[in-house]
Amino acid sequence: MKPMRIKSATAVAALALASFTFAAVPADTAAARSATLGGAQSVVVNVNFQTQLPIDDLSDEAIVKSQESARALLYKLANKECGLLTATIAKTCRLSGLSINVNMQNRNRGNQASNYLFVKSNARYTITLQDAPAKQ
């Protein structure tokens, strides 16, 4: 069997960040609406991360290790997002939900079959917005 080929964590992180999407929507549940701190507006921010990894070794052990590595990357990205939010728009930030989906697909291109592990996550953050700058 061929050894498992996984790109470096830096390359995988770059792929995940390249496919990053962002959506901020007002909190729509009664609990979220009442979750304001000091009168600051509370919103929910949804962030999606996704990437794909080629897999050469199809043994059960290699697939399990690949899935664990991919999930660990998504957990790290989700953990760092509050830092980015508080550096830009948020006064406070809390990860309030995280879902991760991992699946493997075989892609046939010409005469060559390739196996890929596709990983996606949706992280939900509850933030309070920073105060608007004072008007001059």
Per-residue pLDDT of the chain (136 residues; tens, 9 = 90+): 444 444 444 334 434 433 334 444 444 544 444 444 456 678 999 999 999 989 888 899 999 999 999 999 999 999 999 999 999 999 999 999 999 999 998 877 766 768 999 999 999 999 999 987 767 6
Say how far apart CA 42 and CA 24 lie, in whole Å: 11
- In sign, the C-alpha dihedral spanning 26, 32, 33, 38 is negative
Residue 114 domain flag: yes
**Amino acid in position 128:** T
Whether 74 and 20 have beta carbons less than 8 Å apart is answered as no
Residue 134 domain flag: no
Count structural domains, the chain.
Answer: 1
Residue 135 domain flag: no
Residue 121's SS3 state is strand
Residue 16 domain flag: yes
Residue 71 domain flag: yes
pLDDT of 82 reads: 96
Domain of residue 115 covers 9-128
pLDDT of 105 reads: 86
pLDDT of 16 reads: 43
